[in-house]
Amino acid sequence: MSYRELATRPVLAWSAVMVTGRLPVAMAPLALVFLVRERPGGYTLGAVLAAAYVLGEILAAPVLGMRLNAERARPQLVAGLAVGAVGFTGLGLAPGAHPVVLAALALLAGTGPAAVPGALRALLTSLVPERAVTQAMSTESMLTFALWAAAPALTTGLALGVDPAVPLLLQGVLMAVSVAGLWLLPAGWSAGAQEKGASMRRALLRAWPVYVLGAAGLTLLALAELILPALLEQRGIGIGWAGPLLAGFSIGSAVGAFVYGLRGSWPGPLAVQSLVLVLAVAAGVALVAVLPWTAAIAVALVAAGLLQAPASLTRNLALRQVLPPGALAAGYSVMYAAVGAGYAVSGTLAGGLLKVVSPSTAILWGVVLTVLLTAVGGAGERRLTRGAGLQEVQAEVAAAVGSGG
């Protein structure tokens, strides 16, 4: 299966919906900071608004994901994106509102569309044959990293060059466009027997090792993004290099996603691939902490980015192995919440560590946390894989006994 075979009308329509729906999410934290930075205590308020937005995503993603009706998901996706559009537009129209009002709008903007990424991923994999799932998810990853690379420059340019409210208004318009685009896609996807209630919760809880590995991966991304400016100052390197260096990380990730999708499968079980890739990314981030030269830091970041996207892909593909089809959209939503929580925890840890240790030491402590999370997730995933294998054997034996064979 080649990437050219994904250039079908449904997949292209899906890509348009994904871009217009996800670009506002990529722009949100920085846009919120720019919106209020000129007010007294603006940067602190901006951080609080960004935290409220992320909190809405983290809390709502698993709750809304579990309530998705796979075969008739469109009304729920429309409602979620519409709520997000209202939240962003409200922020853009009332930048001088009371901080509590702004926090409520930010929370609304994060909460409404929180389950949309998981649902869109499930919808994408239903639009392609099974043999093309890896390429489809690689394409999604490439688009995501491209959006995350473009969002900071777009947000900064509009906020400083036009008006701080313009990025939020654009985000509201983009989400409204994504709502209209949903009518170009199927109303839902076939998920077989729909998981409900206790069985859904059991299925999602059983996959906890995959979520832990997801959180570990985003811990590294947070370290790279949040501590890099302080590290550059420690090294005597111009802080202006932070943007290009992080762009290199994102571009490397997009290339890594493309390369991973060139093959339908790679050697070794997905669990082993994920472990190796996350640890390799951790090694790259650790090198960033100890290398003294700008060029060397750039090489380490690009190399880490090349492996970051495949590490994320292997975790999402692993979910397809351990969850029943009817629970996949909810599983992707829980993964979305887990990686967001990993990012938030790492950001909090980084902020606390920077008060007592140097930036390079803070990065290394963060890498240690990542390795610990990876070890926990890897051990749990090994047990999960063994349990799944045992269940398959038991099912085969039961079927043989039932047929008299």
Q: What is the DSSP string of 219-234?
A: HHHHHHHHHHHHHHHH
Q: How far is CA 136 from CA 120, 121, 142, in A?
A: 12, 9, 10
Mean pLDDT across the chain, nearest whole number? Answer: 82
CA distance linking residue 269 with residue 204, whole number of Å:
21
CA dihedral of residues 268, 271, 275, 277 (deg, nearest 10) = 60
pLDDT for 387 beyond 60? no
CA distance linking residue 274 with residue 335, whole number of Å:
14
pLDDT for 151 beyond 60? yes
Q: What is the sign, positive or negative, of the torsion defined by CA atoms of 160, 166, 172, 175?
A: negative
CB 76 within 8 A of CB 69: yes
pLDDT for 119 beyond 70? yes
Which residue type occupies 331? Answer: G
Which residue type occupies 81? Answer: L
Given the candidates 1.20.1250, 2.60.40, 1.25.40, 1.10.3470, the CATH classification of the domain at 1-139+150-180 is: 1.20.1250
194-405: what fold?
Growth Hormone; Chain: A; (1.20.1250)
The pLDDT > 70 percentage for the chain reads 91
CB 110 within 8 A of CB 52: yes
Among the residue ranges 189-193, 201-205, 278-282, 368-372, the one predicted with the least confidence is 189-193
The token pair that represents 200 in the structure block:
């859904």
Q: Identify the CA nearest to 17 among candidates 174, 145, 187.
A: 174
CA distance linking residue 199 with residue 205, whole number of Å:
10
254 CB-near residues (< 8 Å, 6+ apart) = 141, 142, 145, 146, 149, 309
What is the reported pTM? 0.82
Tens digits of residue pLDDT in 78-114: 999 999 999 999 999 998 899 999 999 999 999 999 9
